[in-house]
């Protein structure tokens, strides 16, 4: 895309700081190998979290704010934040990058969900394949997945996924990504391939960070996705899940939250924010 509205301000990214944040020391070239490595490192090093909302703050998407939070303060974010900074990095490195929107279903079979998830459609210089990159869902995949009608079931690392091509409204192209977990196969989300402007993501970001109907405005939701385990905090419930579908769940005490966030999710809150989270005022919302 040459239209500036589609672009990601890659010239302004502090590339050295970002690559140090995720531990990347490979070739800085727009190849499929580099893309796979970047996706894996970003997904495993930068957690998914909505804590700023729970702490009463807004979620800005300008690149300077994203760099301050995800790089400078070593925090995480949700889809709009993660793909915003990742797209800027890819653009800076010379990849072809286009934003697309998804509808999170998580197994729901009725009703139309709002388009509140953001993904990236990426092309490289070393082949003609089209890749979908999802560094902001919190549950992987740890690699890009190829956008081909015959994809079917595939494994990335030890985690199992399934891609399904459908026909959407008005005969538009529609895709559905499924993931295997504790409850078997579950449809995670659907997405189209219509390019999205950054301003479209601003609108979605406003909804998920402020609307009473949004799950992110009512309780902490934090994820850490690793090659062998997926950790989730939902409110005060912590779930641990493994690639074979096994796992366990336990309830956390409010006072435990800051320590668990630090030790498992690599999120270190300052004393004031840790106290605010532990007070549990969000439980009354």
Give me the active site residues, please.
79, 117, 134
Spatial separation of the C-alpha atoms in residues 103 and 156, rounded to whole Å = 22
CA 50, 54, 55, 56 dihedral sign is: positive
User: Shortest CA distance to 50 belongs to which of 210, 239, 241, 201?
Assistant: 210
106: left (phi over 0), alpha (psi -120 to 50) or beta: left
Q: What is the dihedral of CA 187, 191, 197, 198, to 10 degrees?
A: 10
Coil, strand or helix: which one is 196? strand
Helix axes 15-22, 32-45, angle to 10 degrees: 70
| DSSP, res 149 | T
Q: What angle do CA 268, 49, 105 make, to 5 degrees?
A: 165
């Amino acid at each position: 895309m040459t239209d500036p509205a589609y672009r990601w301000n890659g010239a302004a990214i502090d590339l050295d700081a970002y690559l140090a944040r995720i531990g990347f020391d490979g070739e800085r070239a727009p190849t499929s190998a580099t893309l796979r490595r970047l996706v894996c490192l970003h997904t495993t090093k930068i957690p998914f979290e909505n804590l700023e909302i729970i702490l009463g703050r807004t979620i800005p998407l300008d690149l300077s704010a994203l760099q301050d939070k995800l790089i400078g303060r070593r925090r995480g974010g949700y889809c709009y934040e993660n793909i915003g900074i990742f797209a800027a990095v890819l653009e800076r490195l010379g990849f072809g990058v286009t934003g697309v929107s998804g509808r999170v279903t998580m197994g729901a079979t009725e009703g139309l969900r709002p388009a509140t998830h953001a993904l990236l459609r990426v092309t490289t210089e070393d082949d003609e394949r089209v890749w979908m990159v999802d560094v902001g869902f919190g549950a992987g995949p740890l690699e890009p997945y190829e956008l081909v009608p015959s994809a079917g079931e595939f494994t990335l690392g030890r985690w199992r996924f399934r891609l399904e091509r459908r026909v959407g409204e008005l005969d538009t192209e529609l895709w559905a990504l499924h993931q295997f977990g504790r409850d078997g196969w579950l449809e995670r989300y659907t997405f189209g391939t219509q390019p999205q402007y950054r301003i479209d993501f601003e609108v979605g970001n406003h909804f998920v960070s402020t609307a009473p109907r949004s799950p992110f405005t009512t309780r902490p939701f934090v994820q850490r996705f690793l090659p062998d385990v997926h950790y989730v905090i939902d409110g005060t419930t912590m779930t641990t899940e493994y690639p074979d579908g096994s796992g366990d769940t336990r309830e956390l005490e409010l006072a435990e939250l800051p320590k668990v966030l630090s030790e498992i999710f690599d999120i270190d809150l300052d004393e004031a924010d840790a106290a605010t989270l532990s007070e549990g005022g969000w439980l009354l919302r």
